[in-house]
Amino acid sequence: MVRRIRVTRPVNSGFWDPWSVEEVKKTTPMPKLEAKRVCVICLSEISEGAAMIECPYCGALGHENCFEEWITMKGKCPLCRRTITL
């Protein structure tokens, strides 16, 4: 009796390209960008724990006093230009 050994092959073996798999392994994940908060108005960094205001539409961040001053003058977000009221 001949014992049949079933060779298991991946179903999509024809499409499997070992080099492309290797390529996938080589690509390193993007380094997580340091979430640096920059004020959209004065363009300087917002230090941790500083008072800030966020645009409810686009999420633009600004120092509380910068944003307040801007909105008082222009009445809109400096980034998306949608009307914001404080």
What is the binding site for Zn ion (CB under 5 A)?
Answer: 39, 41-42, 55, 57-58, 60, 63, 66, 77, 79-80
Nearest residue (CB) to Zn ion, 71 versus 77: 77
The separation between CA 47 and the C-alpha centre of its own chain, rounded to angstroms, equals 20
Nearest residue (CB) to Zn ion, 20 versus 83: 83
Among 47, 36, 40, 43, which Cα is nearest to 74's? 40
CB of 32 to Zn ion, least distance (A): 25
| Sequence-separated (6 or more) residues with CB below 8 Å from residue 13 | none
Nearest residue (CB) to Zn ion, 11 versus 43: 43
